[in-house]
Structure 1
């Protein structure tokens, strides 16, 4: 499913941002101008936030030097538009080039894991990279296990948490509620408060 662009109710603003982004892209692509990786990453990020994964891909493909930010931003561009297979393909290419994902990469790629087997493989890679304790990675893991119908694995990820965090508590409560167990969700809600965390807008 294609996700909505970041400016669903502000189409004129989005259109203006697209035009300005393309003008900047054309300028840095002009003869005699050699853009550095930082500048190209900024263009990638802009296209990603605007939901323009094809334009982002054109920039990415022409980059002579790609760093972890380049790869992660391009993966995010694909997951933002629901191009999950492309995002996963890019992760494989990234690993082949010897660039190891970081917590931001995993937070993005986990959204592309629509199959439990793929999710388990990415989870194994997270463990290999030693990033399982990152709050946002752990939260994304719980969310995706729940969306794939494997709440038990999501609970295992939660129970491995050494120190509490509001983001992770919110994720497990949402996951339990999404699986239809309202009573258990309220029980975890009470546990969260006893642990010293209090509801916020996300909860």
Structure 2
């Protein structure tokens, strides 16, 4: 048991180190891109360094952006710029950008391919528990039946499982801002185990 705990700690530390290095690289790219930001691609270089050049993130708790609705992405970038969502690297990257810059960046990111679902053997019992929760709380009403999202509602299908867990926890404990209180209300009765099951299912949908 002790060796298993040590392995989990090492994996967690490796994930944190990977993210930290990616964030540092993104900030270095940010400085360079602002000096030569003549093209949309140059402005997006620091974003894609963390979120994945092809729309799929390889970094722990960093979301994939490919296939997200352009309007949703625009609003999120605006919230980062105005510090209505506080994630320091994102807040820094959005400073000085105009509304048109944000719209153009969002349109580019939205056209990247949607992320591939998580692989491996599927736990059917967990999938069924999550589907029952989704039907009960009507998650597929706002996020669409295929969880592709629309307008200001994000795509959930194929999103990183660890990021989904993080986001759902933040909505539940009111540390992440939404457009209204609907997400906090929906998640209030949801347990930690149920959050884990929801993320497990959504990460495996195409």
Fold conserved (TM > 0.5)? no
With the length of structure 2 as denominator, give the TM-score of the two structures.
Answer: 0.31
With the length of structure 1 as denominator, give the TM-score of the two structures.
Answer: 0.32
Q: Greater helix percent: which structure?
A: 1
Instruction: Identify the structure with bigger relative contact order (alpha carbons < 8 Å, sequence gap 6+).
Output: 2
